[in-house]
Structure 1
Amino acid sequence: MAKRRITQETFDAVVRENIEEFDMEESEALKEAIEQFESQGVDLSNIVKAVPKVSSEENTEDQTHEVLQALESLKTAVASSSASVLEDLRVFTQQCSLGFAQRYLAAQKEAYPTILACCQRAAEEKEALSVALAALSALTDGQPDLLDVEGREFLIGALTAQQADAALTCLCIHVVRHCCVKHENNRQDLVKAGVLPLLTASITRHIEHPEVVREACVALRVMTFDDDVRVPFGHAHEHAKMIVLEQNGLKVIVEAAKAHPENTSVLSELCATLSRLAVRNEFCQDIVDLGGLKFMITLLADSLDCPELVKQVLSALKAIAGNDDVKDAIVNAGGAELIVMAMNRHMANAQVCEQGSAALCVLALRKPNNCKVIMECGGALAALQAMKTHPDEVNVQKQSCMLLRNLVARTRDFSQLILEMGAEALISQALAAHRDCGDVGRAALRDLGCQVELRELWTGKKGSLSH
């Protein structure tokens, strides 16, 4: 059930009432107002939880929040073409960076048209454009609905005109990303406007600039998201295909990865983006042919101490292992052993355990020979240890159950060995603790040869529903 929301004015009025009517100190009045609304089930995520300040010494009655003071000052400077516009933009950006509530309040007071106008005016002045884009990026963070046709045209124009400037390109891409997260229409409109070739070209052109590569990679990945609950069907798959087939995206990303062998932040984003692009069988093979698999295996071996990067490499390996030939290539390259090593090294990290089990699960699917390798290098034991270490993490439990099932689905040679490791008790615990583990847990127990109750779902026949 959605929580109730209130306006900033309502919240401020209660704070002011606490101060004026009940003689509370400002901090006490603020705390009391927050507790009052939260106890009523009100969502305060969009509320600036601060006491409004006096906006000027001349008018002590006029109290407003600092972000609105910054916005008002900026509007005045823009209207009078004052030299203080840049400084006002910086102050506004700083205020927006404090939190979503500040950005939301500014947007409610027509900040977007003002900031966009500043961007358009500064098109030919690099410093001014940089400051204005930073403000636009800060304002649109978490507020993709703000982008309109005029803003979209400006972004595409700026990306095109400023291709040679790494810093400005990076800022433009940052805005694009903010405007596309959880907003399918913006994604589709920007793709139609030609943002994909601009993003891939920025990686190629500025391949030596890690920030540009990283931002462009994230933006490309966002184009493949299906995260807008307001839209029944997105174009995530189509966008991924366009990036690969029309923009040669796989080669661009693999080459960028080779250009930054020591930068874990960039490599993490590149691997995450590759995972999103491996949506077809031939794309998985293309990544191998481009040297992507060899690079990932080397990267995993060299970066075992970096859990964030390990997680993304495991995710990428899982994605490309959707191709049966690539499964064998990964195992033949020593991938299974490295995955198990990564899991054992970071057993306390639930995400690494989840991605490791998931990768091994895909490698084992329909591949008895791969199952043998996984068993020999301790894959089943690592998965069971992960289940034991993270009993409350449903995804760890699910992926581990699926791995155990795949290891014995085609051949029962390993069933007894896995059971001797304590699999039955751990799977039963997962079944009891997590409803989502029901199907995969029972399937694992069944294929391991354990006694399991398999209830037939109601088919609409033979009487009524039974619980």
Structure 2
Amino acid sequence: MLRSAAAAVMATRRITQETFDAVVRENIEEFDMKESEALKEAIEQFESQGVDLSNIVKAVPKVSSEENTEDQTHEVLQALESIKTAVASSSASVLEDLRVFTQQCSLGFAQRYLAAQKEAYPVILACCQRAAGEKEALSVALAALSALTDGQPDLLDVEGREFLMGALTAHQTDAALSCLCIRVVRHCCVKHENNRQDLVKAGVLPLLTASITRHIHHPEVVKEACVTLRVMTFDDDVRVPFGHAHEHAKMIVLEHNGLKVIVEAAKAHPENAAVLSELCGTLSRLAVRNEFCQDIVDLGGLKFMITLLADSLDCPVSCRIRESFSIVSCEHKPISCCCDASVFQELVKQVLSALKAIAGNDDVKDAIVNAGGAELIVMAMNRHMSNAQVCEQGSAALCVIALRKPNNCKVIVECGGALAALQAMKTHPAEVNVQKQSCMLLRNLVARTRDFSQLILEMGAEALISQALAAHRDCGDVGRAALRDLGCQVELRELWTGKKGSLSR
């Protein structure tokens, strides 16, 4: 235990870029190594000491000018210096310098971090402010600001926030500029609760929903604004005791008609998997109240989610469900034909997550089952059994649909839901979330009726749950509860009774 703690402390050790570069230079000059060899040696040396190099540019500094061959620095800093020089002299080359800077920042977090350490933020923000009235210049400057702030939300200050709000307001009708402004907002809000709250107070939410409505046929704007709305509902900043995630979700729905905006946007992009994936993901974050779940159904959200799952399956059942729902004919081109496998699987995962979220409403549980949703979820799991996230979300969705609903449990078991969950446990033994969600589903299927216990046990449930218990500590409670409700012998540990001893010595 002590060794693990010491290793954890060592893993947090950091060095400066100057220290790293000095070691590389020493390897070249003192030990006569080639550049690639010197770089590799420096990396291995620091990593063996437990130093975190995630913020270090792992490259040999380049000569910045032919006149001064002694002056060596990294390319991102050369680009930053060129921007400063061009701005000071009002040179027309500033746009090209900004493009080079953006390209360098896009190479990785280390380049962005190094640039920020050398005061890049005020320089780039000044470029944005100077270019406010010129579309091309503003576009280039915003791209640079977006690249710099990616992963560095702490850079945003009051001046930057005021500029972003002003730019979003002034360029509402320009899809490209709106998209760039929104992307900067998103970068500045990920893992930064104060920025989220300040931007919400400044009025960013109506600007985001209005962007989706105004540019509904521009997929990039819709996707970017949708993701940014979702980020506003995150609670991912460990530096604050609690955030306003729930409050922001309610504001988006109640004050800015967010559910209708998102559902309408989904209808406008029936075959764009990337956009639909983000829209479903955002819907799942907004379903924070019982009535919101029902509102999503009433607005047609359940209908389009069932459509997406049905279109992902080329089989008679999916065609029957599409036709019975009066959605599209069987000749409709499946969305799975319009995108690559990874994008498609991400879409399926997000649809399942959204179904799980809205199934928090008991009436919606029944609506999903009546629409054939349970069958489609099971088929999606079977089709994408190799994808752990699809299996996890599929089991989670079925788990919520089955909760307190014996009739739904019957449908799930009859369409192969229990078997799919057990197959997911077999396929992904190392994925703790797959194991947990499958155990919870199996428990819910038998919690209010023991009719399916023997059938599920005959499928091999006891052995698989026991394996999950042995392999994953986090499966302890849900695994033992599943075994108990299946009628298996299980040891329920009583951790402390308050007897036979004292808390103090």
TM-score between the two structures when normalised by the length of structure 1: 0.98
Residue 463 of structure 1 and its aligned partner are, at CA, apart by 2.8
Indicate which of 240, 260, 265 corresponds to 1:256: 265
Residue 218 of structure 1 and its aligned partner are, at CA, apart by 0.2
Residue 40 of structure 1 and its aligned partner are, at CA, apart by 0.2
Per-residue deviation, residues 202-258 of structure 1 (Å, max 9, x unmatched): 000000000000000000000000011111101000000000000000000000000
Assess if the C-alpha contact under 8 Å between 2:402 and 2:441 holds in 1: yes
Per-residue deviation, residues 34-64 of structure 1 (Å, max 9, x unmatched): 0000000000000000111111111111110
Q: Which residue of 1 aligns with 2:324?
A: none
Residue 459 of structure 1 and its aligned partner are, at CA, apart by 3.4
Residue 303 of structure 1 and its aligned partner are, at CA, apart by 2.4
Assess if the C-alpha contact under 8 Å between 1:431 and 1:441 holds in 2: yes
Distance in 2 separating the partners of 1:282 and 1:454: 38
Per-residue deviation, residues 109-137 of structure 1 (Å, max 9, x unmatched): 00000000000010110000000000000
Moved more, 68-77 or 305-314: 305-314
Residue 465 of structure 1 and its aligned partner are, at CA, apart by 9.0
Moved more, 419-428 or 1-10: 1-10
Indicate which of 237, 240, 246 corresponds to 2:255: 246
Per-residue deviation, residues 316-335 of structure 1 (Å, max 9, x unmatched): 00000000000000000000
Assess if the C-alpha contact under 8 Å between 1:4 and 1:42 holds in 2: yes
Pick closer, same or farther for the CA change 1:382–1:43 going to 2, 3 Å: same
Per-residue deviation, residues 54-110 of structure 1 (Å, max 9, x unmatched): 111111111100000000010010111111110110010011011100000000000
Residue 305 of structure 1 and its aligned partner are, at CA, apart by 8.1
TM-score between the two structures when normalised by the length of structure 2: 0.91
Assess if the C-alpha contact under 8 Å between 1:271 and 1:316 holds in 2: yes
Pick closer, same or farther for the CA change 1:185–1:306 going to 2, 3 Å: farther
Distance in 2 separating the partners of 1:73 and 1:181: 30
Instruction: Describe how 1:193-272 pairs up with structure 2 within 5 A.
Output: 193-272=202-281
Distance in 1 separating the partners of 2:312 and 2:277: 11
Residue 464 of structure 1 and its aligned partner are, at CA, apart by 6.2
Residue 457 of structure 1 and its aligned partner are, at CA, apart by 2.1
Per-residue deviation, residues 336-372 of structure 1 (Å, max 9, x unmatched): 0000000000111100000000000000000000000
Assess if the C-alpha contact under 8 Å between 2:11 and 2:50 holds in 1: no
Pick closer, same or farther for the CA change 1:325–1:398 going to 2, 3 Å: same
Assess if the C-alpha contact under 8 Å between 1:303 and 1:309 holds in 2: no
Pick closer, same or farther for the CA change 1:313–1:40 going to 2, 3 Å: same
Pick closer, same or farther for the CA change 1:293–1:183 going to 2, 3 Å: same
Q: Which residue of 2 aligns with 1:439?
A: 477
Distance in 2 separating the partners of 1:306 and 1:97: 43
Assess if the C-alpha contact under 8 Å between 1:350 and 1:390 holds in 2: yes
Q: SS state of the match for residue 22, structure 1? A: coil
Pick closer, same or farther for the CA change 1:304–1:237 going to 2, 3 Å: farther
Q: SS state of the match for residue 30, structure 2? A: helix
Instruction: Describe how 1:393-412 pairs up with structure 2 within 5 A.
Output: 393-412=431-450
Residue 460 of structure 1 and its aligned partner are, at CA, apart by 2.7
Residue 466 of structure 1 and its aligned partner are, at CA, apart by 15
Matched, 1:97 2:106: yes
Distance in 1 separating the partners of 2:497 and 2:231: 40
Assess if the C-alpha contact under 8 Å between 2:375 and 2:412 holds in 1: yes
Assess if the C-alpha contact under 8 Å between 1:204 and 1:256 holds in 2: yes
Distance in 1 separating the partners of 2:92 and 2:443: 68
Assess if the C-alpha contact under 8 Å between 2:125 and 2:160 holds in 1: yes
Residue 304 of structure 1 and its aligned partner are, at CA, apart by 4.0
Assess if the C-alpha contact under 8 Å between 1:297 and 1:333 holds in 2: yes
Assess if the C-alpha contact under 8 Å between 2:11 and 2:51 holds in 1: no
Per-residue deviation, residues 152-174 of structure 1 (Å, max 9, x unmatched): 00000000000000000000000
Distance in 2 separating the partners of 1:465 and 1:263: 60
Residue 3 of structure 1 and its aligned partner are, at CA, apart by 1.5
Residue 299 of structure 1 and its aligned partner are, at CA, apart by 1.2
Distance in 2 separating the partners of 1:336 and 1:330: 7
* Residues paired across the two proteins, number: 467
Residue 295 of structure 1 and its aligned partner are, at CA, apart by 1.1
Distance in 2 separating the partners of 1:387 and 1:25: 50
Distance in 1 separating the partners of 2:500 and 2:270: 63
Distance in 1 separating the partners of 2:441 and 2:288: 22
Per-residue deviation, residues 401-448 of structure 1 (Å, max 9, x unmatched): 000000000000000000000000000000000000000000000000
Distance in 1 separating the partners of 2:230 and 2:51: 34
Indicate which of 384, 392, 395 corresponds to 1:357: 395
Unmatched 5+ stretches in structure 2: 1-9, 317-345
Assess if the C-alpha contact under 8 Å between 1:304 and 1:310 holds in 2: no
Assess if the C-alpha contact under 8 Å between 1:458 and 1:465 holds in 2: no
Pick closer, same or farther for the CA change 1:242–1:371 going to 2, 3 Å: same
Report the aligned-residue RMSD.
1.8
Distance in 1 separating the partners of 2:119 and 2:303: 51
Moved more, 418-427 or 305-314: 305-314
Distance in 2 separating the partners of 1:401 and 1:153: 49
Q: Which runs of 4+ in 1 moved over 6 A?
A: 464-467
Matched, 1:35 2:73: no
Assess if the C-alpha contact under 8 Å between 1:67 and 1:96 holds in 2: yes
Identical residues among aligned pairs (%)? 95
Assess if the C-alpha contact under 8 Å between 2:399 and 2:440 holds in 1: yes
Per-residue deviation, residues 375-415 of structure 1 (Å, max 9, x unmatched): 10000000000001100000000000000000000000000
Moved more, 379-388 or 452-461: 452-461
Distance in 2 separating the partners of 1:367 and 1:151: 51
Residue 456 of structure 1 and its aligned partner are, at CA, apart by 1.1
Distance in 2 separating the partners of 1:461 and 1:309: 52
Assess if the C-alpha contact under 8 Å between 1:220 and 1:273 holds in 2: yes
Distance in 1 separating the partners of 2:463 and 2:297: 39
Q: SS state of the match for residue 461, structure 1? A: coil
Matched, 1:113 2:151: no
Residue 462 of structure 1 and its aligned partner are, at CA, apart by 2.9
Matched, 1:13 2:22: yes
Residue 306 of structure 1 and its aligned partner are, at CA, apart by 15
Q: SS state of the match for residue 42, structure 2? A: helix
Instruction: Describe how 1:54-65 pairs up with structure 2 within 5 A.
Output: 54-65=63-74
Distance in 1 separating the partners of 2:185 and 2:314: 33
Unmatched 5+ stretches in structure 1: none
Pick closer, same or farther for the CA change 1:306–1:254 going to 2, 3 Å: farther
Q: Which residue of 2 aligns with 1:451?
A: 489
Q: SS state of the match for residue 124, structure 1? A: coil
Distance in 1 separating the partners of 2:315 and 2:33: 50
Q: Which residue of 2 aligns with 1:163?
A: 172
Assess if the C-alpha contact under 8 Å between 1:330 and 1:336 holds in 2: yes
Q: SS state of the match for residue 286, structure 1? A: helix
